[in-house]
Amino acid sequence: MTRIHHLIERAADRTPDAFAVRDVDGRAVTYAAHQRAIETAADLLVGAGFLPGDRLLVVAENCHATSVLIFAASRAGGVAVPVNARMTDAEMTRIVEHATPRLIACTTDISPEATRHAGAVGATPHATEFGTIALTPARPGLGEGATLETAVILYTTGTTGAPKGVMLTHGNLIFAGKTSAELRDIEAHDLIYGALPMTHVFGLASMLMAASTRGAAIQFEARFRPDRLYEALKAGATVFPGVPQMHALLMSYVAENGLDGLRDVPLHYVSSGGAPLDMAWKRKAEAFYGLALQNGYGMTETTAGICATKNPFGTPDVSCGPPLPGVEIMLDTAIGDSADATVGEVLTRGPHVMAGYYRNPEATAEVLGPDGWLRTGDLGRIDGDGFLHIVGRAKELIIRGGFNVYPPEVEAAFNDHPQVVQCAVIGRMLPGGDEEVLAFVQCADPDTLDLDALRAFAAARLTAYKRPARIIAAATLPAAPSGKILKHTLASVFADRLT
């Protein structure tokens, strides 16, 4: 197999009648039907002028049609550029101008936002067996092509200024699918709960590619809802990769509605990615599921995976685990904590590392060396077992009174509180060059949260210089579709409460 659509061809040949997809509307799709849909979509693209090396912008939310278009771009020799339909017009315009796609396809059946974008670009609806796709040639002049080895270009969340498109190769994604499937013990009979967006690397690599590698099925969800997740787990979903907010909202939903627990369901794997784990939260989640909660570490530039755990239930391990098979890591302690020589910037090398940033060789050279080592921008340490612990982002490190404050440690102290769903911590520069710590906490009912009691709760867990100067409580925090909190927007979103 040299291209990602070969994964579906193999599964359709081996088990044509096995289910590949349970779509948003409940419709079940076999691998034989999935393969036919990909062939139909590839013919549609080629008929509209799509050529090898061209980019297909897929304006989408999770559904069967989104997965079909990603594989169809591969079959037609081009590159899929999946973007979340909930982007603003300005964000979409910047990506279109940078990616210079040949075609734009919108999954209008399941997304009002995709329908709005389709109208804005004058896309023509095409009714197919996998849903209605609105398709149009892109207006910008066609720019340079990506390499033919590139399968997908993903635009990283939280970027400002010029968009940064991560080129992931067919080899990257096939490796990620195989590794993710082995890590999660996924077999053909498994049903993966698919709320992680395929426009984000976590959902694309660890969900879509992992399922396709083993001929397993995915139950797609366009938008996460805890009631839908609960129903899916009760109905037989066996693998649930998620982010902390999903787990927290599910546990709140079950408690608030007095529902049965999830001890007697066929779920056999549950993981939490996108944020560090703390011990109290891990124990709470494991008690809820009756399963070990696995953790991992990755980024868009590494096709989702660098390290991951495969721990037995109850293990007191909140690390990111050892490197995945075939993956190397090391620390550059010259960039880290001068007071702690064991902390440094995490570097990684292997078949998971991106080909580079599309049309941005300068940015590529800043992070990717000629020896293949990628600078992650994250600070970490490696314990005696070879397990990686992430302590923060190099650029998010807060220096207060000459002391280093790592946001994940402060966030963990707040996340222990029973009323806190999740917390995000940032620094704010003060006159004179010092920084203060700001904590933003998401809770179900901010009006009933006793901030003084919460401050005392955190103070008992944090030394004085780590304690936030301000605590802002809110019902929601700004987040990407993946659930990752957009920390760079916190100060502006809550500017009126920080004055």
Whether residues 30 and 115 share a domain: the answer is yes
Can you give the pLDDT at residue 382?
96
Residue showing tokens 């090398």: 349
Whether residues 411 and 460 share a domain: the answer is yes
| Average pLDDT along the chain, 499 residues, taken 10 residues at a time | 96 98 96 98 97 96 97 97 90 91 96 94 94 92 80 74 86 97 97 94 95 98 94 97 86 93 92 80 91 94 94 93 97 75 92 96 94 94 94 79 79 90 90 84 91 93 90 92 82 91
Decide if 152 contacts 477 (C-beta within 8 A). no
**C-alpha to C-alpha distance for 414 and 287, rounded to whole angstroms:** 20
Can you give the pLDDT at residue 433?
65
Three-class SS of residue 377? strand
Q: Is 476 within the bounds of a domain?
A: yes
Q: Is 126 within the bounds of a domain?
A: yes
**C-alpha to C-alpha distance for 340 and 92, rounded to whole angstroms:** 43
> Domain of 429?
403-498
Decide if 179 contacts 324 (C-beta within 8 A). yes
Predicted structure pTM score: 0.84
Decide if 183 contacts 310 (C-beta within 8 A). yes
Whether residues 36 and 134 share a domain: the answer is yes
Whether residues 160 and 282 share a domain: the answer is no
CATH number of 143's domain:
3.40.50.980
Q: Is 195 within the bounds of a domain?
A: no
Can you give the pLDDT at residue 312?
95
Whether residues 229 and 321 share a domain: the answer is yes
Q: Is 261 within the bounds of a domain?
A: yes
Whether residues 124 and 254 share a domain: the answer is no
CA 142 from centre of chain = 29
Whether residues 339 and 280 share a domain: the answer is yes
Boundary (domain end) residue, out of 393, 419, 442: 393
Give the residue from 238, 244, 280, 282 showing the smallest Cα distance to 262.
238
Whether residues 326 and 427 share a domain: the answer is no
DSSP, residue by residue, 236-275: T--EEEE-HHHHHHHHHHHHHTT---STTS---EEEE-SS
Q: Is 257 within the bounds of a domain?
A: yes
**Which DSSP helix (H) or strand (E) runs through 107?**
strand 103-107
Whether residues 384 and 473 share a domain: the answer is no
Can you give the pLDDT at residue 158?
40
Q: Is 200 within the bounds of a domain?
A: no
Whether residues 278 and 369 share a domain: the answer is yes
Boundary (domain end) residue, out of 341, 370, 393: 393
Q: Tell me the torsion sign for CA atoms 270, 425, 440, 165.
A: negative
Q: Is 301 within the bounds of a domain?
A: yes
**C-alpha to C-alpha distance for 239 and 251, rounded to whole angstroms:** 17
CATH number of 462's domain:
3.30.300.30
Q: Is 199 within the bounds of a domain?
A: no
